[in-house]
Amino acid sequence: MKQKLFVLLSLVSFSYTIFAQQDRVQNILKPAHGWDNVSFGFCWYNDKDIYNIASYRYCSPGKVLEIKSSPACNTFAAMYVKGKTRMVSIFSYSDGYNKHTFKLQDSPTAIAYSANAKFLCIADMGRVIRVFNSFDYQQVRAIPTAFAPKKLSLSNNGYYIAAFEDHIVYIWNFETGRVRKIVEMENNVNHIAFSPDNAKMAILTEIGKLYIYDTRTFEQTEVHEGMSDAKECEFHPEGKYISIITATDRISILNMKNSSEERQVIQASNGGVNHIGYARSVKGITNLIYNNGSQFVFHPLLELTPDYERLIHSEVEEKMDEWLKQMPGESLEEYHLRVNEETRAQQYAQFENEIATEMAGDKIGQAEITFGNYNQEQQVLEINFDNMQEIYLEVPQEDVADFSKPEKLAFENSIYGVTEDDKFELLYTEVTNTETGKKYVFDNLEKQSLDYLASDDNFVPLDLIQQSSMEEIKLQEIREEVVTAAKEASLISEHTHIDVKTKVEASTNADGEKIMNYCVDFNYDVEQEFSAQEDFGPGKYIISQSESAMAMLKIVGNAFEHEFKEYLVPGKKVIINVTGSADAAPIKNKIAYNEEYGAFDEELVYNKGELTTLTLNKSTGITTNEQLALLRAMGVKDYVMKNVSPLNNMQCEYNTYLNVSNERGAEFRRIGIKFVFVDAF
């Protein structure tokens, strides 16, 4: 008990260090020869000993060569030498218990987890990368290699696994094991990293060069020099920046969207930096983590600007999803008049400008303004801002003398955009000279041609958007039939609101080909005062105990039995995300669980977006709201597997999402399900 309490206190200490908004230092017993972290999972080693962040010793398996944290934060893998034998074992984060030691035919050379924590990869001297299931540790596939990799890198989407030997980089298709690309560099390689969005791969060479590749084609797109010793590189979680260990006492941070911008440098006074990582605090601040002598330093990256382009694009997509749908009462003819290729591009640009303007705030009011040159031939005056690009204002020559004091200019109705290097720029503004009362207009809204969207990799053909809109109407009709029948049977009332949505999303497969995924999303809501009667009661999780949940799932069954059965193609892949929710009502006494949905041993789940695990069986019973949310999600999975039988012939990838509210109330006890049919068209 004391041991587990010490581990818990250690994790609390670790949590404290990353919540601060200034550098925090965690002292450790001795320098870390190597370490790894994911979210709140953290371990480091020195010689034969493996420790947590507070220097509590987990275990001493042998001479440690490499450790990797499971993205689910429940275990870590260690490669070590015991006697004269290289070995790989899995250890528990809670107490350092050895959960499994692999029986390997050949000596291991490198280890790595997949981003979803479902697989552990072990490279060996037999020139094979062996992929093991992280549930039962059974080998699921073997990827032949031309050498024995010393490091492995996996993309977050599970498409690629990469390794290098000297100056040659190999990239394999992770699922099939086929070689996707072989890249030959001019110099030996030190490190490989994939970007969080999987769109880029970074290769760092020993002479201090950083090469960026597009993962669709694996063609080189950028080269950055001056990285000195170039030990290791890691992309920032948002992808706009990349951090590089350029010496044992120095880390450089490079802006990927504006490489001309001066690099930020972090000095590690005690040296010994051999790895870098990131952790996000509860306040959403991203911390860069590095080891510095007998310390770990958590440096808040407050000086980095957000990825405005990504944020704007995300909001635009959300608004466009609604705009592209056929509106209630809108005829098909009216819909086609409103939504076409030209109006779609115009609306996208309008949303983009609106959101960029909102994000920019009062950039002009915050700027120091100066006058530049005047072009007599074109009659335009250059106006400079110290926080964004200059603009050229049309001013008749006879008015130029009036522009003597920048503070006499008033700017109104300004519209902003974002440049290629992710900086705000003025696209439109009305300028009034307050001394003369004359008004001038700067209009650069047509800077980008409206057909620029046609080359966007995320652009979905209009006919598929329209098809999706039509099918959503079919779903609404199915919903109305089911809901009406449930109301007539007095199972639910008009206070239960079931929602169904469809969407087509552009994506890329592991061969770099553009594909279209079809998403169908089902969820519901019950008005607060009626939730207790029509939805899950306190402590209830059996799916049939919620009439609202059953009504929604009947819509799912009816849809895929009739109108939507064309998407249930044998052999095709479908990603099924099931969601279970719970409120914050405390569970004072253990709730009996008779394993109606089976036993769960460290089941992988996403709890409020973080990958973690849950254990639940008959003997443990239900003691937490997270377990209740898990069972509600498992009820959805159970229903679908039993009632949508064609799914059994597809490649189904189930993911479980939990949402436990901080508030009490029946309205927080919900389920939901989303289908993503991969390469559906």
Q: What are phi and psi of 347, to 5 degrees?
A: -65, -40
**CA 195 to the chain's CA centroid:** 10
CA dist 33 and 380 (Å) reads 62
Task: State whether residue 37 is helix, strand or coil.
Answer: strand
Residues pairing with 652 in the sheet = 574
CA dist 91 and 379 (Å) reads 73
Strand-strand pairing, 651-660 and 573-582: parallel
Length of the chain equals 681
Residue written as token pair 């009739």 = 562
pLDDT score, position 19: 38
CA dist 491 and 497 (Å) reads 13
pLDDT score, position 456: 55
291 and 276 Cβ atoms separated by less than 8 Å: no
Strand boundaries in 451-599, DSSP class E: 496-508, 514-526, 573-582
Q: What are phi and psi of 672, to 5 degrees?
A: -160, 165
Q: In the chain, what is the straight-line distance between the N-terminal and C-terminal CA atoms, in Å?
A: 56
User: How many Cα atoms are found within 13 Å in the side-chain-facing hemisphere of 255?
Assistant: 18
Q: What are phi and psi of 104, to 5 degrees?
A: -105, 140
Burial class (CB in 10 A: 0-12, 13-18, 19+), 638: middle
List of residues 6+ apart from 477 with CB closer than 8 A = none
Give tens-digit pLDDT for 325-382: 888 888 889 998 999 988 998 999 999 999 999 999 999 999 999 999 998 888 999 9
pLDDT score, position 466: 77
Residue 586, Cβ neighbours under 10 Å: how many? 7
What strands lie across the sheet with 232-235, from one edge to the other? 232-235, 241-247, 250-255, 264-267
pLDDT score, position 9: 35
CA dist 47 and 65 (Å) reads 8
CA dist 541 and 608 (Å) reads 19
Which residue type sits at 120?
L
518 and 468 Cβ atoms separated by less than 8 Å: yes
Q: Which residues of the chain have pLDDT under 50?
A: 1-20, 449-455
Residue 581, Cβ neighbours under 10 Å: how many? 22
